[in-house]
Amino acid sequence: MGEALIYLVTGGCGFIGEHIVELLCEQGYVSEVRVFDSLAGEEVKKFATATTCVTVMKGDIRDYALLLSAMRGVHVVIHTAAIVDYTDTVPFREMKAVNVAGTENVLKACCTLSIPYVVYTSSIAAVGPNTRQEPMLRGTEDTKYSGEVELPYGKTKAMAEKLVLEANGKELSNGGKLATCIICPNTVYGEKCLVLKDLYTSAKAKGGVLDYLDPEDTERNCTYVGNVAWMHVLAAQNLQLKPDVLAGQVYYSYDDTPTRKGFLVRYQLFYGYKYTFIG
CATH number where 155 lies: 3.40.50.720
The pLDDT value recorded for residue 28 is: 94
Q: Is residue 200 situated within a structural domain?
A: no
Task: Report CA 239 to chain centroid distance, whole Å.
Answer: 17
| Residue 132 pLDDT > 80 | no
Q: Is residue 264 situated within a structural domain?
A: no
Q: Is residue 60 situated within a structural domain?
A: yes
The dihedral through the CA atoms of 192, 194, 197, 199 has a sign that is negative
Answer yes or no: are the C-beta atoms of 178 and 168 closer than 8 Å: yes
Q: How far apart are CA 108 and CA 97, in angstroms?
A: 15
The pLDDT value recorded for residue 238 is: 97
Please say if 153 is a catalytic residue.
Answer: yes
Q: How far apart are CA 224 and CA 210, in angstroms?
A: 21
| Residue 251 pLDDT > 90 | yes
> Number of structural domains, the chain?
1
Judged by average pLDDT, the poorest of 188-192, 226-230, 269-273 is 269-273
Q: Name the DSSP letter for residue 173.
A: T
The pLDDT value recorded for residue 151 is: 83
pTM of full prediction above 0.75: yes
Instruction: Point out the catalytic residue in the list 120, 153, 252, 275.
Output: 153
| Residue 211 pLDDT > 70 | no
Average confidence score pLDDT of the chain: 86
Q: Is residue 46 situated within a structural domain?
A: yes
Q: How far apart are CA 161 and CA 154, in angstroms?
A: 10
Domain with 132 in it: 5-189+222-258
pLDDT tens for residues 213-245?
666 667 777 888 999 999 999 999 999 999 999
pLDDT tens for residues 166-175?
999 999 999 9
